[in-house]
Amino acid sequence: MPNKALFVIVIALASFGAPHSRAEITYPWCAQYGAGFDGGGRNCGFSTYEQCRAAISGNGGYCERNSMYVPGAEVSSPPRKLRH
């Protein structure tokens, strides 16, 4: 299995086990993988078009803008309390 495909699989599996935060972070680019009999897969976790293109390289598919992305809506973490 090519390294890129393995990377995509690892990222996909890791995202299923990740705890959900109060707000979902969206990214501007989605990878739509091959559209075989089951419709293929979709990953909307890319900050740049180049990242998306690298993920689909050798796997087939295409990149498109994420219609759910809202610029500037990134979640910031609360400020840390300093110990004295």
**DSSP assignments along 37-68, one per residue:** TT---EEEEESSHHHHHHHHTTT--EEEE-TT
What's the confidence (pLDDT) of residue 8? 59
Which residues lie below 8 Å from residue 71, measured CB to CB, with a gap of 6+? 28
d(CA 2, CA 71): 33
pTM of the model: 0.55
What's the confidence (pLDDT) of residue 46? 97
What's the confidence (pLDDT) of residue 60? 84
Spans of the chain below 70 pLDDT: 1-24, 35-39, 73-80, 84
